[in-house]
């Protein structure tokens, strides 16, 4: 989608030979140089309409997965309840994919002005190339077809008639999104190639209509490929990477992301040791559905500011110390432990850091000069003086991970363009954001006079009220992930974070 901030889409350059036979030579993926394709910031600041659409899409996507989970498993997911059920969330699927040594692939991610990171997969025999968004918050692959007539202009279409390995499953699909529209079409099976690895007989959706959120002016890639688990698949089919594992194509049952300003990549079949330093902080999955984990808490200026009382996942009475050692980069070493937890989904398809509205409101109430931006950016958004970006951290498994201020500050408040801010521009805000990590406090920090800071910026931490999902759920997106190296370990049912090299 065309967003003002990083709506994550991820790309692979698939540089391998193709074959019509099901027996493939094992081959390594290769990196592609990172290129920026477009920018979404301009002289008038952040596109708040795009931000609102993105937040709506994110919560809608989670609800869509919950519906699929109930249909696939016959049970309601713990995140579905708006009223706390106190359900224990430590059950795991018995089916763990083996991690036999096969092959590994590293592919650079395309950055579209901190709005889209996207890349390429190949589909069919002979292969057709498509740019797709790689999304750990969903599980299905879909592309437009030649017959797609709604919001498909500008996207490359999948032509199943030109693939000798394509076959129709005669099943339809219908994906609902937050803008009220849908992605509909027919399910096919075909060969999917990623970074030199091939998944045969892979289920994909061939869409004959796209929702407005996937129109080319808001979503540059051709389609989307989910990287979560089968239990939330609308097709009730194995996700592509799981198929690569079961078909013995991957070195390990693991993939990893670097989402940063330079040299971003998705690595399949393990981790790229050149891109991180120190040890990983590992988090066991509470269930194999989303990449869902427990978070210990949120800090402001190194002090815990969450009471963890709003999530369905809170199952203990232990408290967390109110002050923590500062860690400018994650080391993997635990600095505190607590059994009191917050439910969180790690989602590369989410630009923002999304938390429960009460906690987010409390956090911003402690930030000098911060105020609600609901009147122009929408519910859950807040602004603050551009030179006073809050110092936010997330605690996972006892380790505090600081979020860079230049990432937490997502851009200048566009509503100022016609006010007494004069000739302020997005480029001015960017310069201020870049300096904010070096200047932890402005001269007016601690005061209540917001007019002392004429330039105001929007925060990457936003609140949600549930609306069909657990109101205490946190969605950990790019605002956090751009500051760490993240590993998604299917074989051991866990997620890991490490410091970027």
CA–CA separation, 115 vs 406, rounded Å? 15
Q: How far apart are CA 115 and CA 50, in angstroms?
A: 10
Phi, psi values for residue 210, rounded to 5°? -115, 150
**Distance between CA 353 and CA 474 in Å, rounded?**
8
Say which residues have a Cβ less than 8 Å from residue 164's Cβ, sequence separation at least 6. Answer: 20, 124, 125
Q: Is 135 part of the annotated catalytic residue set? A: yes
Per annotation, catalytic residue among 24, 133, 347, 489:
347
Count CA atoms closer than 13 A to 344's CA, side-chain side: 27
> Phi/psi at 332 (nearest 5 deg)?
90, -15
| Residue 438: count of CB within 10 angstroms of its CB | 8
* Cα separation, 287 vs 294, whole angstroms: 11
| Coil, strand or helix at 432 | helix
User: Two tokens at 117?
Assistant: 């990171």
Contacts of 458 (CB under 8 A, 6+ apart): 46, 48, 51, 373, 377, 381, 382, 383, 409, 410, 411, 412, 413
Annotated active-site residue in 135, 251, 296, 413: 135
Per-residue DSSP letter, 116 = E
What is the SS3 assignment for 384?
A: strand
Nearest Cα to Cα of residue 346 among 485, 221, 243: 485
Tokens of 297: 């808490």
Active site residues: 135, 347
């Amino acid at each position: 989608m065309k967003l003002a901030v990083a709506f994550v889409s991820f790309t692979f350059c698939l540089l391998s030979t193709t074959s019509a036979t099901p027996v493939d030579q094992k081959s390594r993926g290769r990196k592609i140089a990172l290129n920026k394709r477009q920018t979404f910031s301009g002289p008038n600041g952040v596109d708040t309409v795009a931000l609102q659409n993105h937040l709506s899409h994110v919560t809608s996507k989670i609800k869509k997965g919950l519906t699929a989970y109930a249909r696939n498993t016959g049970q309601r997911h713990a995140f579905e309840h708006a009223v706390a059920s106190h359900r224990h969330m430590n059950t795991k699927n018995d089916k763990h994919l083996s991690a036999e040594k096969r092959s590994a692939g590293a592919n650079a991610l395309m950055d579209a002005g901190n709005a889209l990171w996207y890349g390429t997969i190949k589909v069919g025999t002979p292969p057709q190339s498509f740019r797709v968004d790689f999304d750990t918050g969903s599980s299905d692959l879909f592309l437009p077809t030649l017959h797609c007539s709604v919001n498909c202009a500008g996207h490359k279409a999948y032509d199943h008639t030109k693939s000798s390995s394509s076959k129709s499953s005669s099943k339809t699909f219908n994906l609902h999104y937050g803008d009220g529209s849908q992605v509909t079409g027919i399910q096919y099976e075909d060969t999917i190639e990623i970074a030199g690895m091939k998944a045969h007989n892979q289920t994909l959706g061939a869409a004959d209509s796209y929702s407005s959120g996937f129109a080319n002016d808001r979503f540059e890639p051709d389609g989307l490929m989910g990287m979560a688990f089968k239990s939330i698949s609308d097709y009730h089919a194995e996700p592509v990477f799981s198929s690569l594992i079961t078909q013995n194509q991957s070195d390990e049952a693991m993939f990893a992301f670097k989402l940063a300003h330079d040299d971003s990549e998705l690595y399949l079949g393990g981790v790229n040791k050149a891109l991180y330093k120190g040890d990983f902080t590992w988090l066991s999955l509470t269930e194999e559905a989303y990449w869902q984990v427990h978070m210990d808490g949120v800090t402001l200026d190194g002090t815990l500011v969450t009471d963890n009382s709003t999530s369905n996942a809170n199952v203990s009475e232990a408290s967390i110390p109110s002050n923590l050692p500062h860690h400018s980069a994650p080391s993997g070493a635990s600095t505190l432990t607590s059994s009191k937890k917050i439910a969180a989904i790690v989602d590369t398809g989410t630009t923002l850091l999304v938390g429960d509205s009460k906690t987010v409101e409390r956090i911003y109430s402690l930030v000098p000069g911060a105020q609600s931006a609901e009147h122009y950016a929408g519910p859950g958004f807040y602004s603050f003086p551009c030179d006073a970006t809050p110092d936010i951290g997330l605690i996972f498994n006892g380790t505090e991970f600081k979020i860079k201020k230049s990432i937490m500050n997502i851009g200048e408040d566009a509503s100022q363009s016609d006010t007494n801010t004069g000739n302020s521009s997005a480029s001015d805000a960017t310069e201020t954001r870049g300096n904010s990590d070096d200047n932890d406090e402005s001269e007016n920090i601690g005061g209540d006079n917001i007019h002392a800071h004429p330039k105001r910026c929007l925060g990457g931490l936003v609140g949600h009220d549930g609306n069909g999902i657990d109101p205490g759920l946190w969605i950990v997106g790019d605002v956090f992930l751009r500051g760490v190296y993240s590993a998604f370990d299917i074989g051991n049912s866990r997620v890991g974070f490490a410091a970027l090299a």
